[in-house]
Amino acid sequence: QVQLQESGPGLVKPSGTLSLTCAVSGGSISSSNWWSWIRQPPGKGLEWIGEIYHSGSTNYNPSLKSRVTISVDKSKNQFSLKLSSVTAADTAVYYCARTTVTTSWMDYWGQGTLVTVSS
């Protein structure tokens, strides 16, 4: 059973960079899957941030593309999110999730981690 676990600072200062990691267990990050980041501001809906394949190929939400970098660390079986120039509007629960290649749905999700942007 694949499990995903997000980790990272729960508080980030405005104009700083948000950095999160998603550890994958029960399966290899080098398998035929895309690995996504999704966020959910308090009381609001889901927003897809972007995804990465183990080769390093990425797709990003155009509305966030200029501030987002997603990377993969195959040696640690994990992938990461960096979001720069954050503001209070980036306060959200951040989830990581898996999509099997040739499909477009997200079948495994992490439990999510709340990141608050505040001074």
Partner 1 sequence: QSVLTQPPSVSGAPGQRVTISCTGSSSNIGAGYDVHWYQQLPGTAPKLLIYGNSNRPSGVPDRFSGSKSGTSASLAITGLQAEDEADYYCQSYDSSLSGSKVFGTGTKVTVL
Binding site for partner 1 (CB under 8 A): 36, 38, 45-48, 51, 59-62, 65, 95, 99, 103-107, 109-112
Least distance from partner 1 to the Cβ atom of residue 107, Å: 5
Task: Give SS3 for 65.
Answer: helix
Determine the Cα–Cα distance for residues 39 and 48; give it in Å rounded to an integer: 7
Least distance from partner 1 to the Cβ atom of residue 60, Å: 8
Residue type, 86: V
Q: Which is nearer to partner 1, 12 or 38 (CB)?
A: 38
Q: Which is nearer to partner 1, 8 or 14 (CB)?
A: 8
What b-and-e string marks burial along 78-93, b requiring 16 or more CB atoms within 10 Å of the CB?
bbbbebeebeeebbbb
Task: Give SS3 for 67.
Answer: helix
Q: Which is nearer to partner 1, 36 or 78 (CB)?
A: 36
Q: Given the structure tokens 């503001």, which residue do they identify?
A: 87
Least distance from partner 1 to the Cβ atom of residue 46, Å: 4
